[in-house]
């Protein structure tokens, strides 16, 4: 059967007829070219803006220098957990390793100015204790579900109150599940038939277009809680360009959006509860409103360890070739590299390395603070050379639990293991250790472990003790290890200037990643915008070694709001069951980046997932400039515009 569509041509006088009926038109009328604005409106707008700003003197900002306020905070010894900066990276000769991290309660009237200093540099900002300033509305999942059902009397909502479609993070396939069962799994955990933790994600529930309608109190609570309302208020924020679109204009979907997901303390390697690497075309703020620690039974621990061992062997074959069964040799990559990255994981998973979330105490946290390890030291200290895998040993220290046990690949390490179990205190000078979120790394150098425990975590007044005269990096790493025990999610946010190198790395190693049905990624259209890749600790270490770049990595606590600048690729892994609420906005500082991303997205294939978002940032900017000129004229009546 052949399909013939009649030609559609312009008339001889240059007019364009309506398409034929076969093409969806009427075939008779003429099309008219119309404009949204008056003739020369844009040109006049630009001229008025130039006239208004011609006599303004703008402050020159030296982006090569760090924030003077934060630098004084660091040098002043404010290195405890209540500091307004947080160590998130270990880049050499860099002044952006610390992120601005103010407390919502301590924000002064000029705090927006401080925020803007970091925001103009394209740096993320973390605001602590945001929920403490709210009315205390519960974000418990069952409370949200009941509120959701109360507003679901309409027939079109009835199906939504029964079941939802979630993503299984093991194979990234969609599953339909009863909403009550989903929330029970959020609180108590779920598992696959082989005891492997089942990580489910529920994105945008209820949908952002219905969030205000279905959960009106939670919506109001969220909007009221957000700091820097000049930027984040979705309706009245003067520095949120999205608020300047006319009421009758088609508006982008900027949220709020909810992200409800299960979590697991350890990085499993497969089936982790993650948001894969991606880049938003606008600015965003993400607030962690609820967390739950799921208890894992000892028998499930045992089964998980067996599966982890199996996965490590499978990864060994996949990444570095096939093992010669006769000679036990590895074809392809060197044995040394294999030992460091794969065999270590396979053997060390035999120990008690899965978290029992029911055992948390300050004394346990104190034990972990005695094991200090900073990856940046690896390049500064003398590395030991090993000729055999058996010479490698590793400490698996985990978030919680009193049984912190050393795992060794050599029988000669057994005495150290027994000693560490008896003392529960690492005071050795020659231990090869790793942080809880870097369990696959082996650091072959000496390090001395010292005790660092902040006053807050000891239950004391932070002001009752003298602060350290110098904020040593060891003490900052100690704080990070304490954060591991409480954080709900781990964030990795990359700098804009590092994106080209990040893309090169991802394109080079794309087949080392897994996505749909847990199969290796064979090809990518765009390694970031595809949102199919997640960099685990091994990948991030490899990225640092090959391209000398690293992300800002930090824990997000309950009640913390993370501000992500447009154009910064980022990924998230949930350590606990989490409920996050996010809102997009468009700030004047990042309009140029939003436009660049919009043009970049247009080059993607027609059906690419990233093209689903429509921001219309250029139109948004024109309306915002028009509004700003009207405001200036009202404030300066003698101004001729």
Tell me: pLDDT of 264 over 90: yes
- For residue 59, what pLDDT is reported? 67
Tell me what the mean pLDDT of segment 57-82 comes to. Answer: 60
Domain of residue 236, CATH code: 2.60.120.650
Task: State the pTM of this model.
Answer: 0.73
565 assigned to some structural domain: yes
What confidence category does residue 340 fall into, taking pLDDT thresholds of 50, 70 and 90? very low
Q: 240 with 341, same domain?
A: no
Q: Which sign, positive or negative, has the C-alpha torsion 415, 419, 424, 430? A: negative
The tokens for 222 are 């969220």
State yes or no: cis peptide before 256, omega within 30 of 0: yes
Q: Of 33, 316, 102, 268, which is closest to residue 170 (Cα–Cα)? A: 268
Q: Which sign, positive or negative, has the C-alpha torsion 555, 560, 565, 569? A: positive
- For residue 514, what pLDDT is reported? 87
Report which DSSP code applies to 207.
Answer: -
481 assigned to some structural domain: no
Tell me how far the alpha carbon of residue 516 is from its chain's centroid.
20
Report which DSSP code applies to 340.
Answer: I
Tell me: pLDDT of 305 over 50: yes
160 assigned to some structural domain: yes
What confidence category does residue 8 fall into, taking pLDDT thresholds of 50, 70 and 90? confident
Secondary structure class of 478 (helix, strand, coil): helix
Q: 272 with 306, same domain?
A: no
What b/e readout covers 205-237, taking b as 16+ CB neighbours within 10 angstroms?
Answer: bbebebbbebbeebbebbbebbbbbebbbbeeb
Using one digit for the tens of pLDDT, what is the confidence trace for 597-606? 988 988 888 8
Q: Quick check: 529 and 507 in contact, CB under 8 A?
A: no
Q: 307 with 428, same domain?
A: yes
What b/e readout covers 557-571, taking b as 16+ CB neighbours within 10 angstroms?
Answer: bbbbbbbbbbbbbbb
Report which DSSP code applies to 339.
Answer: I
632 assigned to some structural domain: yes
Task: Return the minimum-mean-pLDDT range out of 146-155, 465-474, 479-488, 570-579.
Answer: 465-474
pLDDT over 70 percentage in the chain: 66
516 assigned to some structural domain: yes
71 assigned to some structural domain: no
Tell me what the mean pLDDT of segment 151-168 comes to. Answer: 70
Q: Give the mean pLDDT of the chain.
A: 74
Give whichever of 214-223, 385-394, 598-607 has the largest mean pLDDT: 214-223
Q: 234 with 97, same domain?
A: yes
**Range of the structural domain that residue 109 is part of:** 83-290+489-641
Count of domains forming the chain: 2
Q: 145 with 248, same domain?
A: yes
Secondary structure class of 329 (helix, strand, coil): strand
Secondary structure class of 503 (helix, strand, coil): helix
Tell me: pLDDT of 428 over 60: no
Q: 129 with 271, same domain?
A: yes
What confidence category does residue 491 fall into, taking pLDDT thresholds of 50, 70 and 90? very high
Tell me: pLDDT of 149 over 70: yes
CA atoms of 523 and 355, how far apart (whole Å)? 36
Report which DSSP code applies to 511.
Answer: G
CA atoms of 386 and 444, how far apart (whole Å)? 9
What confidence category does residue 408 fall into, taking pLDDT thresholds of 50, 70 and 90? very low
Tell me how far CA of residue 525 lies from CA of 448, 536, 615, in angstroms.
46, 21, 21
Helix 473-484 and helix 362-369, axial crossing angle in degrees, nearest 10? 140
Tell me what the mean pLDDT of segment 561-590 comes to. Answer: 96
12 assigned to some structural domain: no
What confidence category does residue 392 fall into, taking pLDDT thresholds of 50, 70 and 90? very low
Top-confidence residue, 398 or 84: 84
Q: Quick check: 425 and 451 in contact, CB under 8 A?
A: no
Tell me how far CA of residue 20 lies from CA of 7, 11, 23, 34, 297, in angstroms.
8, 13, 5, 21, 68
Other beta carbons less than 10 A from residue 3's beta carbon: 5
Q: Which sign, positive or negative, has the C-alpha torsion 354, 360, 363, 368? A: positive
Q: 237 with 307, same domain?
A: no
> Which of 419, 450, 481 is the last residue before a domain boundary?
450
CA atoms of 162 and 179, how far apart (whole Å)? 6
Where does residue 567 fall: left (phi above 0), alpha (psi -120 to 50 degrees), or beta otherwise?
left
> Which of 450, 481, 504 is the last residue before a domain boundary?
450
Q: 158 with 283, same domain?
A: yes
Q: What is the 3-state secondary structure (H, E, C) of 126-190?
A: EEECCHHHCCCCCCCHHHHHHHHHHCCCCHHHCHHHCEEEEEECCCCEEEEEEHHHHHHHHHHCC
Tell me: pLDDT of 571 over 90: yes
Q: 138 with 166, same domain?
A: yes
CA atoms of 436 and 555, how far apart (whole Å)? 12
Top-confidence residue, 258 or 154: 258
Using one digit for the tens of pLDDT, what is the confidence trace for 362-382? 333 333 333 333 444 444 443
What b/e readout covers 428-463, taking b as 16+ CB neighbours within 10 angstroms?
Answer: beebbbbbbbbbbbbbbeebebeebbbbebeeeeee
Tell me how far CA of residue 490 lies from CA of 101, 155, 357, 434, 575, in angstroms.
15, 39, 17, 16, 7
Q: 250 with 326, same domain?
A: no
What confidence category does residue 444 fall into, taking pLDDT thresholds of 50, 70 and 90? very low
> Which of 450, 481, 510 is the last residue before a domain boundary?
450
Tell me: pLDDT of 579 over 90: yes
Tell me: pLDDT of 348 over 50: no
Q: 415 with 505, same domain?
A: no
458 assigned to some structural domain: no
Q: 114 with 240, same domain?
A: yes
Give the number of residues written for the chain: 641
CA atoms of 80 and 478, how far apart (whole Å)? 10
- For residue 482, what pLDDT is reported? 45
Tell me what the mean pLDDT of segment 579-593 comes to. Answer: 95
């Amino acid at each position: 059967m052949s399909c013939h569509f009649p030609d559609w041509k312009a008339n001889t006088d240059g007019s364009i007829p309506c398409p034929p009926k076969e093409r969806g038109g009427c075939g008779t009328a003429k099309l008219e070219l119309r404009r949204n604005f008056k003739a020369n409106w844009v040109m006049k707008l630009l001229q008025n803006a130039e006239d208004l700003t011609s006599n303004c003197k703008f402050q020159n900002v030296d982006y090569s220098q760090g924030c003077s306020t934060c630098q004084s905070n660091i040098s002043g010894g404010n290195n405890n957990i209540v500091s307004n900066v947080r160590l998130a990276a270990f880049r050499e000769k860099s002044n952006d390793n610390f992120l601005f991290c103010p407390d919502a309660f301590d924000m002064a009237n000029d705090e927006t100015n401080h925020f803007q200093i970091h925001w103009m540099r394209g740096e993320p900002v973390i605001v602590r204790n945001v929920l403490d300033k709210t009315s205390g509305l519960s974000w418990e999942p069952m409370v949200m579900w009941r509120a959701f059902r109360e507003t679901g009397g309409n027939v079109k909502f009835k199906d939504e109150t029964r079941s939802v479609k979630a993503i299984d993070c093991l194979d990234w396939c969609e599953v339909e599940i009863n909403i009550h069962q989903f929330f029970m799994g959020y609180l108590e955990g779920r598992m696959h038939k082989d005891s492997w933790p089942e990580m489910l994600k529920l994105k945008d529930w209820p949908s952002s277009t219905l969030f205000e309608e279905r959960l009106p109190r939670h919506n109001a609570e969220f909007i009221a809680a957000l700091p820097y309302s000049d930027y984040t208020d979705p309706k009245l924020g003067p520095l949120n360009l999205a608020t300047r679109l006319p009421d009758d204009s088609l508006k982008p979907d900027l949220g709020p959006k909810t992200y409800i997901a299960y979590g697991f303390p350890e990085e499993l390697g497969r089936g982790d509860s993650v948001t894969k690497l991606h880049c938003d075309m606008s600015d965003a703020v993400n607030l962690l409103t609820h967390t739950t620690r799921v208890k894992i039974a000892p028998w499930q621990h045992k089964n998980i360890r067996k599966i982890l061992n199996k996965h490590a062997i499978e990864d060994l074959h996949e990444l570095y070739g096939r093992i010669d069964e006769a000679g036990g040799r590895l074809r392809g990559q060197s044995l040394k590299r294999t030992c460091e990255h794969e065999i270590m994981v396979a053997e060390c998973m035999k120990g008690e390395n899965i978290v029992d979330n029911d055992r948390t105490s300050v004394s346990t946290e104190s034990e972990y603070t005695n094991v200090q390890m900073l990856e940046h030291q690896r390049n500064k200290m003398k590395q030991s050379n090993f000729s055999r895998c058996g010479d490698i040993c590793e400490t698996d220290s985990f978030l919680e639990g009193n049984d912190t046990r050393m795992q060794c690949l050599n029988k000669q390490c057994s005495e150290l293991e027994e000693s560490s179990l008896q003392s529960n205190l690492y005071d050795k000078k020659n231990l090869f250790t790793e942080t809880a979120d870097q369990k696959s790394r082996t650091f072959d150098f000496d390090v001395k472990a010292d005790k660092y425990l902040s006053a807050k975590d000891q239950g004391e007044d932070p002001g009752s003790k003298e602060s350290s005269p110098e904020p040593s990096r060891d003490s900052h790493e100690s704080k990070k290890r304490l954060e591991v025990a409480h954080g709900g999610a781990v964030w990795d946010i990359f700098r804009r200037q590092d994106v080209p190198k990040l893309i090169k790395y991802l394109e080079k190693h794309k087949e080392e990643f897994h996505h749909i049905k847990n199969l290796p990624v064979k090809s990518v259209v765009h390694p970031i915008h595809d949102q199919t890749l997640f960099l685990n600790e091994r990948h991030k270490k490899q990225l640092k070694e090959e391209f000398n770049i690293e992300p800002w990595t930090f824990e997000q606590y309950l009640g913390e709001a993370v501000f992500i600048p447009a154009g910064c690729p980022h990924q998230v892994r949930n350590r606990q069951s989490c409920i996050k609420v996010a809102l997009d906005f468009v700030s004047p500082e990042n309009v140029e980046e939003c436009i660049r991303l919009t043009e970049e997205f247009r080059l993607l294939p027609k059906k690419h997932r990233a093209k689903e978002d429509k921001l219309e940032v250029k139109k948004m900017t024109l309306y915002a400039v028009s509004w700003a000129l009207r405001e200036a004229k009202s404030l300066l009546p003698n101004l001729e515009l």
